[in-house]
Amino acid sequence: MAEQAPKVELVVGLGNPGERYAQTRHNAGFWFVDELARRYGGSFRAEGKFFGELARVTLDGVDCHLLKPMTFMNKSGQSIQALAHFYKIPPERILVVHDELDLPPGQAKLKQGGGHGGHNGLRDTIRVLGRDFGRLRLGVGHPGHKDAVVGYVLSRAPAAEEQAIRDAADQAADCMAWLLAGDWGRAQQRLHT
């Protein structure tokens, strides 16, 4: 039997605003929510009270908010908290999508809860929401040494790696209807095998 979990009402893509960062590995979360908006006819608009850009989409008759915080990565929680509070969305119904150093490009993994693993966007989100939100981790690979991480995530991946990251995001987007229905088990089975 598939594992049931809370239904996702808000998908947050983590990234940094501006052209300078648009194609960097750290913006994989933005790429994901952009893909959802493209697939399901949503369009992002600036929402000052949420410190970000917001879109709404409907998948299989279920409404979902898509959020891109415009606060820069280190203050992502400010935007997420503002929207979640306004719409009364509990942390367990939020999916945060982010770049993941511990997975190779082309892999995507789902999980509920956990720590920040050194990711500053997750660290700030945990600061305001606690740990009980869902995560979609989009692998970007690791540069090999911790001192090289900042330059690595803030640079563009080679074309083949970027395509692998985008392909993994596409595969994860194929699973969104299950996440909106709370069927995390089915989504994980599809992504993790």
Third-level CATH fold of 10-175: Rossmann fold (3.40.50)
Write out the DSSP string of 72-123: -GGGHHHHHHHHHHHHT--GGGEEEEEEETTS-TT-EEEEES---TT-HHHH
pLDDT for residue 60: 82
pTM confidence score: 0.95
pLDDT for residue 2: 43
| Residue 2 CB neighbours (<10 A) | 14
Q: Where are the domains of the chain?
A: 10-175
Helix (H, G, I), strand (E, B) or coil at 1: coil
Q: Of 26, 65, 98, 119, which residue is the catalytic one?
A: 26
As a whole number, the mean pLDDT across the chain is: 94
Q: Beta partners for 45?
A: 54
Cβ proximity of 17 and 145 under 8 Å: no
pLDDT for residue 3: 45
Assess whether 116 carries a catalytic annotation. Answer: no
Write out pLDDT tens, residues 51-101.
999 999 998 888 999 999 999 999 999 999 999 999 999 999 999 999 999
Percent of the chain clearing pLDDT 70 (strictly above)? 97
pLDDT for residue 4: 56
Asked if pLDDT for residue 1 goes beyond 80, the answer is: no
pLDDT for residue 38: 96
Write out pLDDT tens, residues 137-184.
999 999 999 999 999 999 999 999 999 999 999 999 999 999 999 999
